[in-house]
Structure 1
Amino acid sequence: MTSQFTRGTEQVRDHVAAQLERARQRSKLLTDAVDDHDLVRQHSKLMSPLVWDLAHIGNQEELWLVRDVGGREPVRQDIDELYDAFKHARAVRPELPLLGPAEARRYVSQVREKVFDVLETSPLEGRRLVDGGFAFGMIVQHEQQHDETMLATHQLRVGPPVLDAPPPPRGGPVGPAEVLVPGGPFTMGTSTEAWALDNERPAHQAFTDPFFIDTTPVTNRAYAEFIAAGGYTDPRWWSEAGWAHVQKAGLVAPRFWERDGDQWYRTAFGVTAPLDPDQPVVHVCYYEAEAYAKWAGKRLPTEVEWEKAARFDPATGRSRRYPWGDEEPTEAHANLNQRHLSPAPVGAYPAGVSPLGVHQLIGDVWEWTSSDFHGYTGFEVFPYAEYSQVFFGPDYKVLRGGSFGSDQAAVRSTFRNWDYPIRRQIFAGFRCARDASPEELA
């Protein structure tokens, strides 16, 4: 097995170059797919104009790789404040004097040219920021994360389709509806993954009681049953905050769902089609996931439970990098890398099943957990507090596993995402869990 933490320096250099180029090709795809008018307009107050994301990608690359790692002169120091995500909220970014499409493209190209020169000359060791190519890996992940954000912007865009991809593979058998995860300790987080971000660290022992977790994410079919049973009109299933949000926002179904008679339709990237009942439900907020789980007689898994289901191998007691093992994801393992423009039906990736028999924990849809976002015991800010630490607290819920719009460079079983519980524009779904009764354990 060759992984990021076993590669030699030249292998790391080659790997970084390939990952940088792969990320840039995706950024180009997402921005070249539309005209300049679409690039500069704001498709939703929740999102930046696509041209802001593009130049922001270049600016972060310049700050960390050109100036810090490379020690080079700034390319465009005058635009730093424009592309500081903490200086200007998304809603007001269109009002800023942003780089136009042509200028933004020239800028990111100039930065990338300098970055490849830095990569050729950096020793990739001797400093924590560059050991194992970390700073480069951080920037690869940053670009891929913004590519997923840009993909979400495309989903909010109104107009004819501009993106295309083949349909995902067909579903297949999944076995029992839920799987028993044994109680006891396991290793959570990581201290060895070379490109793991600070909130994934350090590796530590965590503990769970025995619990059941759904074999698959909740499907469109199952979620439609919740709607048909009056789920959105019955306050019994909702938390106080969730019920208040449902009423204020007027929620009646997942975002992008529409009903025509007895048939539900979903609009995805400009194409409206009948709902695939076997695909995981997507574009639901935390409160919707929480309400469904209560209606089903279950609950959402904690973050600890989710990671144990994804990583724990009961035969060895070891935590794996991925549900299927330690090898990097392939198209047989998971729905990642924007290969498709929707979740795949459940059972589509038998090669990606965990040792306990849980399907599709990686890819397809981000999965809401019941956990607030906090650092692990022993957490250390690295390399900057604004990546993780400033978001710690009860305002954000943790999501796990990645989506069809996530890239494998930015997804692993230890990777942690977070968002406000009201967010629905992200590619989020969920699966349920429940406590195991004494009778079931006997």
Structure 2
Amino acid sequence: MSSTPDTCESAAGSSASHGDVVTDGQALAKRYADVRALSDSIVAPLQPEDCVLQSMPDASPIRWHLAHTTWFFETFVLADRCDAPVADESFRYLFNSYYNTVGDQFPRHQRGLLSRPTVREVMGYRRDVDDAVVTLLRNADVVDESLARVIELGLNHEQQHQELMLTDIKHAFAQNPLYPAHVDAECGPCDAPELQWISSDGGVVNMGCTGDRFCFDNELPQHRVFLEPFQIANRLVTNAEYQQFIEDGGYQDPRHWLSAGWATVQQQGWTNPIYWIRQGEGFDEFTLGGCHPIDPDAPVAHLSYFEADAFARWSRARLPTEAEWETVAREPSPDDPTSGECIDALRPVHPTHGTPSASGVSGLYGTLWQWTSSSYGPYPGYTPPEGALGEYNGKFMCNQYVLRGSSCATSPGHARRTYRNFFGPDARWQFTGIRLARSV
């Protein structure tokens, strides 16, 4: 994801919402409070010192996430509706991510150099903005639809940052030889289903969201795609399978790698997944719950596109296209942990395979984002919305690859079959994995 102008935004960020929107002021105020409270619960186990760390340019300090998501509501909700600004004018510069229409931004890679405003001041900023937004909503029996859509977009934007807060603090903690844990949890054993291939006849299929419910603009418009017959794996690749790739010299053999991937392996010195820690002849794995012995049956996590593609070539298979993935996938069931209104913010220690769908495919949602071979670009007929919020998404459609599904760190409501996540091919710190495909 290093190729994006601001990698703090998790992939499927968008500039517009679609479909029905809640306009009941009391209901919207409650939803606002619930989403914001989930961010607070992610931060609750952390110390102030944890919240100012920036372990690499692609990650942001937790404090910055908290301030930026608050800045969004102040800028796009309160600015034209309040008599006085909530925060210091400098916040407009410090916590703008990439909205050039709004103004200049503090350099992304230097966010970890800011000791002020303090974490306490940022939390006070959140409370002030929350009070103003909730008052605004509760004072209206029916909220104007345009305002309701901005609120809904802002809440989805915050939920994306909730996932980023988890992945960014994991990367920061992984740099510490003490390997601190964000949560006190054990990794339970994982049972991997037997690998099977699910066949599809292909043909002309519809792809993309219909727009009859909330979705991001990069999921639109729905359009037709022709697919050749293919097969897709019923589950994600496991740690044990990936370890075979390592033991077979996968990281030393350029035949498996794209040219840019091989150059990255050489430059970065990659020899195994980012959070694997060699212990004698084997590996431990760093998780949000600290270090644990690797579970051979668990899905292998935190792989770049380059690594996923190399493993697929080594396996005499390939990565699916995003159209193939969407065709095989079904909408998550109501009891899926990432489809409901509430999840435990401290749940994601490590992924499991999940429950198979009716088609026999497991791990579609709530496990790992799954790399596809599809470059991230606009759908036929796509046009970015106008205005400042139009900068959110369309201008990043370059040098990225699409991921599908959702991860164990994904916030509620963000698991759907048309959701398009995207990162650069060298990104490894997100909860990303591999589902294989092959042509027939």
> TM-score under structure 1 normalisation?
0.84
Partner of 2:414: 410
After the TM superposition, which of the residue ranges 36-45 and 289-298 deviates more from structure 2?
36-45
> Which whole-Å CA distance do the structure 2 matches of 1:94 and 1:433 have between them?
40
Question: For 1:227-278, what per-residue CA distance to the aligned partner results, in whole angstroms no more than 9, with x for missing partners?
Answer: 1111111111111111111111111000010222332210113611110111
User: Does the aligned pair in 2 maintain the 1:237–1:295 contact within 8 Å?
Assistant: yes
Structure 1 CA distance, aligned partners of 2:22 and 2:42?
33
* Correspondence for 1:48 among 60, 64, 71: 60
Q: Taking structure 1 as reference, are residues 126 and 269 closer, same or farther at Cα in structure 2, changes over 3 Å only?
A: closer
- Gaps spanning 5+ residues in structure 2: where? 1-17, 99-104
| Partner residue in 1 for 2:261 | 242
For residues 73-88 of structure 1, what are the structure 2 equivalents within 5 Å? Answer: 73-76=84-87, 77-86=89-98, 87-88=105-106
Matched, 1:138 2:145: no
| Cα offset, 1:45, TM superposition | 3.6
The within-5 A match list for 1:184-195 is 184-195=203-214
Give the 5 Å matches for 1:165-244. 171=190, 174=193, 176-244=195-263
Which whole-Å CA distance do the structure 2 matches of 1:378 and 1:85 have between them?
A: 27
**Pair 1:290 & 2:309 matched:** yes
Contact map agreement 1:368 1:399 (CA 8 A) in 2: yes
Give distance in 2, aligned partners of 1:78 and 1:123: 34
Q: Is the 8 A contact 1:298 1:432 kept in 2?
A: yes
SS in structure 2 at match of 1:80 = helix
**Residue type at the aligned position of 2:395:** V
Determine whether 1:381 maps to 2:400: no
Structure 1 window deviating more from structure 2 (199-208 vs 92-101): it is 92-101
Distance apart, 1:88 and its partner CA: 3.3
- Name which of structure 1's ranges 168-177 and 184-193 shifts more when overlaid on structure 2: 168-177
**Change over 3 Å in CA distance of 1:199–1:236 after alignment to 2:** same
Identify the range of structure 1 (166-175 vs 115-124) with the bigger mean alpha-carbon deviation: 166-175
Other structure's SS at 1:35 match: coil
Residues 300 and 431, structure 1, Cα contact 8 Å, conserved in 2? yes
Paired amino acid for 1:392 = M
Note if contact 1:82-1:98 (Cα within 8 Å) is conserved in structure 2.
no
CA distance in 2, matches of 1:364, 1:262: 28
Tell me how far apart the structure 2 counterparts of residues 167 and 187 of structure 1 sit (CA, whole Å): 42
| Equivalent residues in 2 for 1:323-342, closer than 5 Å | 323-324=332-333, 327=334, 329-330=336-337, 338=345, 340-342=347-349
Instruction: Return the alpha-carbon distance in structure 2 between the equivalents of residues 65 and 403 of structure 1.
Output: 30
Instruction: Report the AA paired with residue 372 of structure 1.
Output: S
Matched, 1:26 2:38: yes
Task: Answer whether contact 1:398 1:416 (CA < 8 A) is retained.
Answer: yes
The match for 1:316 is none
Q: Residue 106 of structure 1 is aligned with which of 104, 121, 124? A: 124
Contact 1:165–1:341, Cα closer than 8 Å, also in 2: no
| CA separation of 1:389 and 1:24: change in aligned 2, threshold 3 A | same
The answer on 1:431 being equivalent to 2:438 is no
Structure 2 residue aligned with 1:319: none
Change (3 A) 1:420 1:236: same
* C-alpha distance 213-337 of structure 1, shift in aligned 2 (>3 A): farther
Q: Is the 2:65–2:161 contact (alpha carbons within 8 Å) kept by the matching residues of 1? A: yes
CA contact under 8 A between 2:32 and 2:155: conserved in structure 1? Answer: yes
- The answer as to whether partners of 1:337 and 1:408 remain within 8 angstroms in 2 is no
Give the letter aligned to residue 390 of structure 1.
Answer: K
Cα offsets for 1:104-158 (capped at 9, x unmatched): 011111111111122234576765x34xx32222111111111111111221223
The answer to which structure, 1 or 2, has the higher relative contact order (CA under 8 A, 6+ apart) is: 2
CA contact (8 A) 2:367 2:406 kept: yes
1:94 Cα offset (Å): 2.8
- Cα distance change of structure 1 residues 9 and 191 upon mapping to structure 2, 3 Å threshold: same
Residue identity matched to 2:259: E
Q: Which residue of 1 aligns with 2:136?
A: 118
Specify which of 363, 368, 372 is matched with residue 369 of structure 1. 372
User: What value does the CA root-mean-square deviation take over the aligned residues?
Assistant: 2.7
Aligned pair in 2 of structure 1 residues 305, 112: CA closer, same or farther (>3 Å)? same
Equivalent residue letter for 2:394: Q
Q: CA 1:382 to 1:209, structure 2 compared with 1: closer, same or farther past 3 Å?
A: same
TM-superposed deviation, 1:183 = 0.9
8 Å Cα contact 1:336-1:363 kept in structure 2: no
Amino acid at match of 2:367: D
**Alpha carbons of 1:174 and 1:269: their partners in 2 closer, same or farther (altered >3 Å)?**
closer
CA distance in 1: counterparts of 2:348 and 2:66, whole angstroms: 21
Q: Name the count of aligned residue pairs.
A: 409
For residue 345 of structure 1, what is the aligned residue in structure 2? Answer: 352
Shift of 1:43: 3.2
CA deviation profile, 1:215-238 (whole Å, cap 9, x unmatched): 111111111111111111111111
What residue identity is the alignment partner of 1:90? R
The residue matched to 2:317 in structure 1 has which SS?
coil
For the 8 Å contact 1:44–1:153, the answer to whether it is kept is no
**SS of match in other structure, 2:79:** helix
Q: Which amino acid aligns with 1:141?
A: N
**SS of structure 2 residue aligned to 1:145:** helix
* Distance verdict in 2 for CA 1:234–1:81, change over 3 Å: same
1:91 matched to 2:91? The reply is no
Q: Which moved more, 1:258-267 or 1:91-100?
A: 91-100
1:356 and 2:359 are equivalent in the alignment: yes
TM-score (norm 2): 0.85
